[in-house]
Amino acid sequence: RAFGPLHSLNSKLRFRALRALPLASAPPSRSLECRAAVMAEGFNPNKSRVSEDRLAEFIVQELDPELTSVPGIGEKAKEFLAADGVETTFQLIGKFLMLKGKDTSVREHADAMWYYLQGVGINSYRAGIVLAIAEKVNTMMPGIYNPDEFEVEDS
């Protein structure tokens, strides 16, 4: 049976991910539950449109505070993030880390970041942005991201 990614998120994490969304991202008539229903996809690293070379370059180079240094973040995404108070790569990593709870799985954590990006208005390259940030942070904090969690088993 297939449940959406929100069903796999524990209720505490789901609430935290939804609270991270700015209220301006949805019309005032939309409740948290309504926003949750709209968010049905979640993070899938296979949907990343960031090239492997660009991702590898980002992971190995020194962290650049400029948001557009993150693969997938262009000027428009930078504007959306700035409107939510995220103006540097360091702050974006901080947002990623804030979504990691004590009992949050790798998949739930990546989904929460994907939902956050969706909530601030980023419609393109979300998977690539999450992948880049998760892989970069994993070099600093091994174990925070594991690509094996997203392997599709052959049936």
Which tens digits make up the pLDDT trace of 126-154?
999 999 999 999 999 999 999 988 876 54
Q: pLDDT of 83-137, one tens digit each?
A: 999 999 999 999 999 999 999 999 999 999 999 999 999 999 999 999 999 999 9
Whether the per-residue pLDDT at 72 is higher than 70: the answer is: yes
Model confidence at 38, pLDDT cuts 50, 70, 90, reads very low
Q: What is the pLDDT of residue 33?
A: 52
**Cα gap 64→77, rounded to integer Å:** 16
**Cα gap 66→89, rounded to integer Å:** 6
Which two structure tokens, joined as six digits, stand for 39? Answer: 């968010």
Is this structure's pTM higher than 0.75? no
Nearest one of 113, 81, 95 to 9, comparing CA atoms: 113
| Rounded (10°) angle between helices 89-98 and 106-120 | 130
* Phi–psi pair at 30, nearest 5 degrees: -85, 125
Considering Cα of 80, then 59, then 96, then 89, what sign does the dihedral take? negative
Q: Which helix (H) or strand (E) holds 54?
A: helix 52-60
Longest distance between any two alpha carbons in the chain, whole Å: 44
Q: What is the pLDDT of residue 151?
A: 76
Residue pair 10/16 in contact (Cβ under 8 Å)? The answer is: no
Whether the per-residue pLDDT at 68 is higher than 80: the answer is: yes
Whether the per-residue pLDDT at 67 is higher than 90: the answer is: yes
